[in-house]
Structure 1
Amino acid sequence: MSAARWRPVISVGCHVVFEGRAWQVVALRDAVVSLVDEHGTAAAVLVSHLCEAEGFQVAGSRPVADVPQWGLFEGVPERQRERALAWQRHIKEVETGLPVGAGGEPRPQYHPERTTMAEREQAKADELTALGWPGVSRSTVTRMRSHYRRQGLWGLVDHRTTRSASRTGRADERVVVAIMEALRRQRGRSKGTVRGLRHLTGQILEETHGTGEVKLPPESTFHRLVRALADPQELPGRPARTATNPARPYRPTSVLRPGEQVMLDTTRLDIMAVFDHGITGRPELTIALDVATRSILAAVLRPAGTKSVDAALLLAEMATPHPMRPTWPQALELSRAAVPYERLLSLDERLQGAAARPVIVPETVVVDRGKVFVSEGFLAACETLGVSVQPAPPRQPAAKGPVERTFGSINTMFCQYVAGYTGSNPTRRGRDVEAEACWTLPQLQDLLDEWITAGWQSRPHTGLRHPMMAAAALSPNEMWGALVAACGYLPIPLTGTDYLNLLPTVWKAVTERGIRVDHRTYDHHILNPYRGHPSPAGGKQGKWEVHHNPHDLRQVWIRLPDGNLTEIPWIHRDHTSSPFNDHIWQYLKTQVHRRPDHQAYEADLHRALDDLLHRARTGTGTPAEQARTTRHLPTQATPPTAPAAAPRGTRRPEAPARAPEPATAPLPPGVPPRSNGDRTAGTGTGTSGPDQHGLGAGTQQGWGESLDDFDDDYDPDEDDRDGGPSAAAAGFALYDARKEAEQW
């Protein structure tokens, strides 16, 4: 009997099981089977549907042998494989009369037409016994034939040799349970050593079974048990896991539209920059990367400590065209890029004179679980703009692979060409990197924006391909032009009020003294009709909606019943020459003794703030104090170069003696060199943050706010001799009356 005779065959007159009932096949016409059940009910069914139906079976048919599992069979010891192949030859001879691959006439004792199956099985048992096979009887041959029909060649293997060995061997089960409990207790905690885990296991055994009842195995055996029982991620020496369940496999999302998925992330830039008051440090870079086009939609530099307001304003910057700088070449205009410019301009007039960078309103932003991107302020800003937030899965670095790779490209293609480059790690850092730092934060922002436009957006990316030109790599601008032509473009113009709405919100009462926020009082006569009255907004216990800028606490904005946000100044704002942030304010609260009188305590804080800013500005403060005044400050716009007819009384900031001439610093690829005059004119154009978008004129600092800023003998031609833009980073020197009198 061959294997083909075992296969079920549908023929007229046979019985089948279909939909839980017994049917008889009465006719076969092409691909249609006519069925009749025992009650005379007729049905016509397609053959393909009948054979694929659940529970279908031909009555009286034998099960079909599975496909040989050659992968498992290759893992069997060689001796057992040879024995299984020998059994296969003998079984074939019993069933068909001829061994596998043999021809000719069957041997008399195995001839199918002259002997019965029982006789052939007994003959094979006698033959194998004579050959020296131990323990082979007729029942053994019958059992092996049954295994072969069900499992094929795999059924002839002695499965005693395929059993997997126990991970713990002959170890005491009580010790195994104690080790697993110790691993469970250590999960998610800081990792120690195996010796510490062994000590914890001993404590668990004593707590469970009593002192001395169960002995710990030797150290080598304990190490083997830990390696066998512990998850590879939980072994001592590996990073601590933060969850008890293993992470699910990551599957990248297919992105087909601009803005369908935008990734946000923050990192330290590998460049030493000159902060305010001459302090140097590495700024933080926050970027927004469109996954579909690999375009850097926005990039913002901060001295340190990026806040939720920075991430919120980053969303608004994506939807706003980037203006051309006066010093940029015309080749960087959007009209020169490979995009449907005329069509886009007819839809959005803001693109007139814009830089060659995409304007994309994100649909979904992918963020990590940092406090900046999961804060209430950022989530509220996303809700205002209609943007959904998708947190990246934990412990899945590949979930934000495009933006992480972009940071690496910025490091190799931009940072290493800028003066003050620190290297990607301490082993690559120069001896005196701080002395090389010459770019202020606004200047560095301007350089970065120009490099993104000239060096990144026009550079072919190997991951960007067009379906009609699969062999050619496209640049981010070319990919945006191709996708926007297919998906469309919807502009969302933002006003100054929209930017104010993106600032963090607190709910405060309007009292007789004004608005109290963290021991600061904000007051204005416009609040007179609302003092002591509840807010018309429900659900906040009568408190009013107040927006504040964490980088400049000198004013807040309150939403009045007319629906508009109105600026309310701090009562000491006229006596504070420079902006201050929440970090400085919290530091002052730890230095000033708190009084029961709120007004006296606030006055003490103001005096301490004014003294701290004065010491930091004049260079008499400690390095720690100067660093505190530098952190979180809004990016300043340096004053423009004064023309030849500049009015008398304007005093420029003095450049630090150690800062080298910025013109000698190497420029990144794609950024054209500038003359001294062009560089000075462009220093203030890279400003980003609330001040750039109209969040209050009071946030511009360090120019025209003090009598010390005036100099009757200011000469605009000294700009080229004194170092140009680096002078704006040094702060203001202490006013010297004698020196001023000598000049007069």
Structure 2
Amino acid sequence: MGRLTRPPALVVGERVRFDGQVRGVLEVTAQAAVLEDAEDPHRVVALIELFEAEDFEVLFRPERMPLPASSVLEALPAAAVKQALWWESHILEVVHGLPPDVERGREPREEYGPGTSLTAREKAKASELSRAGHPATASTVARLRRRYLKDGVAGLADGRAARKRPEFGTVDPGVVDAMRQAIKEGVETSTRTASYLIWRTKEILKQTEEGQAATWPSRATLYRLVEKLTAGTHATGSAVTRRSKAHTAAVPFGELTVSAPGEVMQIDSTPLDVLVRLDNGVVGKVELTAMIDVATRTPTAVVLRPSTKSVDASVLLARTVTPELMRPGWVDALKMSRSVLPHRRLLTLDERLEHAAAKPVIVPEMIVCDHGKAFISRNFRASCRFLEIDFQPTHKGAPFEKGHIEKMLGSVATMFAQFLPGHTGRNTDHRGRHPEKENLWSLPELQELLDEWVVARWLNRPHEGLRDPDHPGRLFTPNQKYAALIESCGYVPVALSGQDYIELLPAAWRAVNAYGIRINNRTYDAPELGPMRRHHSGVTAKRGLWEVHRDPYDVSRVWVRNHRGGGGWVPATWKYLNRAPVPFGDLAWDHVSHQLPKATEEELAEAVAALLTRAHAGPAQVAEGKKGKKNKPSKRDRQVTARTRATAPAVVSPQPEPSQEAADEPVAEEQPETEEPMAEVIPLGLFDPLEDPWRRP
């Protein structure tokens, strides 16, 4: 038994091969088809005969009539749209025999009924329209029918009404090209007005023969041209935004897929729009330096400093891999044990998390930064190499390549800084009348508030960039995202020891002389430096000098690497530390050095100590000079002292041993037993970075 096959379908408008000719299908009935013929107007062939022919083949099947292009119709005048819809009703009657929107069961008219060809219908429609006062030919109806079957109702509209005007009207293309060149030249320069761009355009045209022949438009046309060409470029606006727009990639933005905490992190610094009281009434602004994890949007470290230095970026790395401990006064709800973070599992890996706040500890694998001096410095790059972190700077003038940290710093100004006294706004237009007279926070207090706000608010706030792929309507908080990713990525704690802390400090190379080491007119010495004095370090690349690490915010001591003794660190103390027990940094020292260029080291130490004492006492507590003038510190003195004290760690000077005269003095009479005994005084020692802060007592 042969295989059953469905007979082919035949549609009006198809091209078929039959009886040695290529013919068009004019009409199809239940029993026969009307085909085109080379000798006669048409040929009627029975369907059974047509399908059984050996050379029968369907060569062309017209595509389904496209949907009307509504956007094209919306761009046309109302009269043109009305005319196209009027033609559509007549063309549909030619194609299908019935006009649209007719009653069900209505029979087609005789001239459009079954058995009539398309040619006959087109002639009938042309005659009908001509009698009704709309002159038309059969060829016109046929042309509109073919356009309707190809383009829909849009093909029936008058194309002249849809013609588009040139983008820049009748302006000479040479003028347009010259103005584009003028706009491009101003990307890296200072902002200028539209009149300058017009002048520069004319100068560019004068340099070429083609430009001299160009037609110069009117003044109004030129200003309209400037408005069109500078749209979105900020050519006459912000220079920073203009450079950023000009360096934006012309191709579609790519997307870096990040699936693990620490895989990609970004770091940046920006001025904080808040005034702080640095010390003793001195008001100033500070910079906010932060690092954010792209996968979880967690700000792993946030630091406030009067000015960002390379050592601050290195210290930021140390804070990133160090747990955030609970502070006095923080509520229990901020503990990691009370959060969504897997505290019990992490505690088995790192005991430091027992009293930690609800802030993830994330180890960076790659850090993306801009070309700021603090981030491309040798010290910061050395810190990244030391911690085995990939250092990836962005392209110059491309802040969008680290958009996550840019957005985060802007959010801090919106969500946190505006609630603080002394908020200045992002520019002078948004600044109040006297923000410096408000009740300002000090820098340590503001840092404490910012740390608490990050733990309490930011880490528990649903983030727009942290959506569930399977449920886009659900937002994750940074802590929730970290808890979700840790299930697949795990956690590897990295604890920084005192040795690591010293490694992150900036380095200098000095000789160890008989009197010690001199750095910036300061002498450092220690008994352990004995074997190094006036000896070669063995580092020939540095001419035998010794590697010295120092903290720019505390000049009281330095650390010398013992190249001959296994590479350990030898602490050396400033020789005149007892004259200035309060720690101060390079800023205060350099300020006094410029005031007293010929002073000795001992005199400089006394001057710095006196400066700090005068500033700490305040402008009201001053002493009379020799000539009756008050020794009031200058504004610059107070600013330097305040910025130094704001960034200096607390150091307690060693207490002197009791003298023999004090021991021989008579002992005071005993107090009555009813008197409450004095509490034991426990002195605070100096900070020792070599000591492990996490060891148990």
Q: How big is each residue's C-alpha offset from its partner over 1:500-553, in whole Å with a ceiling of 9 and x where there is no partner? A: 2223356x5869899887788878544458528544x7xx89987654434345
Q: State how far apart, in whole Å, the 2-side matches of 1:361 and 1:376 are.
A: 21
Q: Which residue of 2 aligns with 1:224?
A: 224
Distance of aligned partners of 1:576 and 1:58 in 2 relative to their CA distance in 1, 3 Å threshold: farther
Indicate whether 1:282 and 2:285 are aligned. Answer: yes
Q: What residue in structure 2 maps to residue 694 of structure 1?
A: 689
**C-alpha separation in 2, matches of 1:350 and 1:344:** 10
Q: Does 1:503 align with 2:502?
A: no
Report the 3-state secondary structure (helix = DSSP H, G, I; strand = E; otherwise coil) of the residue aligned with 1:352. helix
Cα pair distance change 1:491/1:692, threshold 3 Å = farther
1:317 deviation in Å?
Answer: 1.2
The whole-number CA distance in structure 1 between the counterparts of 2:153 and 2:475 is: 52
Helix, strand or coil for the counterpart of 1:168?
Answer: coil
Matched residues in 2 for 1:316 and 1:8: separation? 78
CA distance in 1, matches of 2:227, 2:477: 49
For residues 74 and 560 of structure 2, what CA distance do their matches in structure 1 show?
Answer: 75
Q: Are residues 1:618 and 2:614 paired?
A: yes
In 2, Cα distance between the equivalents of 1:113 and 1:207? Answer: 74
Following superposition of structure 1 onto structure 2, how do residues 23-38 of structure 1 map, counting pairs within 5 Å?
A: none
The two structures have a TM-score, normalised by structure 1, of 0.64
The CA deviation at 1:386 is 3.6
**1:725 paired residue number:** none
Query: In structure 2, which of residues 536, 546, 556 is the aligned counterpart of residue 531 of structure 1?
Result: 536
Query: Match of 2:301?
Result: 298
Look up the SS of the partner of 1:298 in the other structure: strand
Relative to 1, partners in 2 of residues 1:171 and 1:373: Cα closer, same or farther, differing over 3 Å? Answer: same
SS at match of 2:163: coil
Q: Which amino acid aligns with 1:143?
A: R
Contact 1:265 1:367 in 2 (8 A): yes
CA 1:113/1:563 → structure 2, altered by over 3 Å: closer, same or farther?
Answer: farther
1:393-415 per-residue CA deviation (whole Å, 9 max, x = no partner) reads 83549644345324433335xx5
1:655 — aligned with what? Answer: none
Using the alignment, how far apart are the partners of 1:205 and 1:509 within structure 2?
61
Q: 1:576 to 1:93 in 2, by over 3 A?
A: farther
* 1:305, distance to aligned residue in structure 2 (A): 0.6
CA deviations on 1:164-192 (whole Å, 9 max, x unpaired) are: 11122222333333322322222333221
Could you tell me which amino acid in structure 2 is paired with residue 241 of structure 1?
R
For 1:604 and 1:462, the matched residues in 2 are separated by 58
From 636, 640, 647, give the equivalent of 2:648: 636
Residue type matched to 1:312 in 2? S
Aligned counterpart, 1:66: 66
**Residues 368-414 of structure 1: CA distance to partner in whole angstroms, max 9, x if unpaired?**
554333434333323433444566783549644345324433335xx
CA RMSD, Structure 1 to Structure 2 (Å)? 5.0
Cα distance in 1 for residues equivalent to 2:595 and 2:302: 36
Query: Which AA in structure 2 matches 1:694?
Result: P
Q: 1:203 to 1:526 in 2, by over 3 A?
A: farther
Shift of 1:287: 3.5
Which residue of structure 2 lines up, in the alignment, with residue 14 of structure 1?
none
**8 Å CA contact 1:572, 1:606 repeated in 2:** no
- Identical pairs, percent: 33
Contact 1:379 1:389 in 2 (8 A): yes
Q: 1:201 to 1:105 in 2, by over 3 A?
A: same
Judge conservation of contact 1:89–1:100 (CA < 8 Å) in 2.
yes
Q: Tell me the secondary structure at the aligned position of residue 280 of structure 1.
A: strand
Any idea what the Cα deviations from partners look like across 1:419-443, whole Å, max 9, x if unmatched?
x544647767575745734x54444
Q: Does 1:377 align with 2:379?
A: yes
1:160 aligns to what SS in structure 2? helix
C-alpha distance in 2 between matches for 1:520 and 1:114: 111
SS at match of 2:154: helix
> Are the equivalent residues in 2 in contact too, given 1:187–1:234 (CA < 8 A)?
no
Structure 2 contact 264–367 (Cα < 8 Å) conserved: yes
TM-score (norm 2): 0.68
Cα distance, 1:586 vs. partner? Answer: 6.4
**Is the 8 Å Cα contact of residues 537 and 564 (structure 2) preserved in structure 1?**
no
Amino acid at match of 2:319: E
Question: Cα 1:646–1:480, aligned 2, differ >3 Å: closer, same or farther?
Answer: farther
Matching of residue 489 in structure 1 with residue 491 in structure 2: yes
For 2:344, the equivalent position in structure 1 comes to 342
Q: Secondary structure at the match of 2:307?
A: coil
Partner AA of 1:494 in structure 2: L
Letter of the 2:81 counterpart = R
Structure 2 residue matching 1:233: 3-state secondary structure = coil
| Structure 1 residue identity aligned to 2:287 | E
Aligned pair partner of 1:410 in 401, 405, 416: 416
Q: CA deviation at 1:223?
A: 0.9
CA 1:158 to 1:245, structure 2 compared with 1: closer, same or farther past 3 Å? farther
Change (3 A) 1:169 1:315: same
SS of 1:297 mapped into structure 2: strand
Secondary structure of the residue that 2:208 maps to in structure 1?
helix
Change (3 A) 1:204 1:501: same
Residues 522 and 556 in structure 1, CA contact (< 8 A), matched pair in contact too = no
Deviations 1:596-633 (A, max 9, x none): xxxxx9x7688667645633542454211332344466
The alignment partner of 2:348 has SS state of helix
Task: Write out aligned runs for 1:81-120 (5 A).
Answer: 81-102=81-102, 104-111=106-113, 113-115=115-117, 117-120=118-121
Equivalent position SS for 2:647: coil
Q: Structure 2 CA distance, aligned partners of 1:133 and 1:559?
A: 106
* Separation in structure 2 between the aligned mates of residue 693 and residue 163 of structure 1, nearest angstrom: 81
Query: RCO greater where, 1 or 2, for CA within 8 Å and sep 6 or more?
Result: 1
Residues 197-346 of structure 1 aligned to structure 2 (within 5 Å): 197-209=197-209, 216-237=216-237, 239=239, 241-242=242-243, 244=246, 246-247=248-249, 257-260=260-263, 262-269=265-272, 272-276=275-279, 279-290=282-293, 295-302=298-305, 304-325=306-327, 333-346=335-348
**Distance of aligned partners of 1:65 and 1:430 in 2 relative to their CA distance in 1, 3 Å threshold:** same
After superposition, the Cα gap between the structure-2 partners of 1:339 and 1:522, relative to the gap in structure 1 and judged at 3 Å, is same
Cα distance in structure 2, aligned partners of 1:489 and 1:471: 28
SS at match of 2:185: helix
Aligned to 1:164: 164
Measured in 1, the distance between the counterparts of 2:484 and 2:445 equals: 33
1:551 corresponds to which residue? 553
- Once the 2 structures are TM-superposed, how far is the Cα of residue 93 of structure 1 from its aligned partner? 3.0
Distance 1:641 1:260, change over 3 A: same
Distance 1:143 1:113 in 2: 22
Aligned in 2, Cα 1:473/1:128: closer, same or farther, shift over 3 Å? closer
The secondary structure found in structure 2 opposite 1:301 is strand
Q: Rate the CA distance shift 1:62–1:335 in 2: closer, same or farther, 3 A.
A: closer
Aligned length: 587
Corresponding position of 1:353: 355
- CA spacing shift, 1:190–1:315, aligned 2, 3 Å: same
User: Shift of the alpha carbon at 1:353?
Assistant: 3.3
Unpaired segments ≥5 residues, structure 2: 1-8, 17-56, 616-631, 660-680, 693-697
Aligned with 1:566 (options 569, 573, 581): 569
Separation (CA, whole Å) in 2 of partners of 1:276 and 1:519: 26
**Distance in 1 of aligned mates of 2:472 and 2:215:** 67
Secondary structure, counterpart of 1:241 in structure 2: helix
Q: 1:430 to 1:74 in 2, by over 3 A?
A: closer
Q: Which moved more, 1:66-75 or 1:249-258?
A: 249-258
Q: Aligned equivalents of 1:696 and 1:8: distance in 2?
A: 93
Q: Secondary structure at the match of 1:377?
A: helix
Instruction: Report 1:572-721 matches (<5 A).
Output: 577=580, 581-583=585-587, 611=607, 614-619=610-615, 620-631=632-643, 635-638=647-650, 694=689
**Does the Cα contact within 8 Å between 1:357 and 1:457 map onto a contact in 2?**
no
Are 1:511 and 1:532, in contact at CA under 8 Å, matched by a contact in 2?
no
Match of 1:456 in 2: 457
The question of 1:155 aligning with 2:133 is answered: no
Moved more, 178-187 or 519-528: 519-528
State the Cα deviation string for residues 557-590 of structure 1 (Å, max 9, x = none): 4472666353575986658736554555666787
Matched residues in 2 for 1:436 and 1:75: separation? 60
Offset at 1:210? 9.8
- Matching residue's letter, 2:153: L
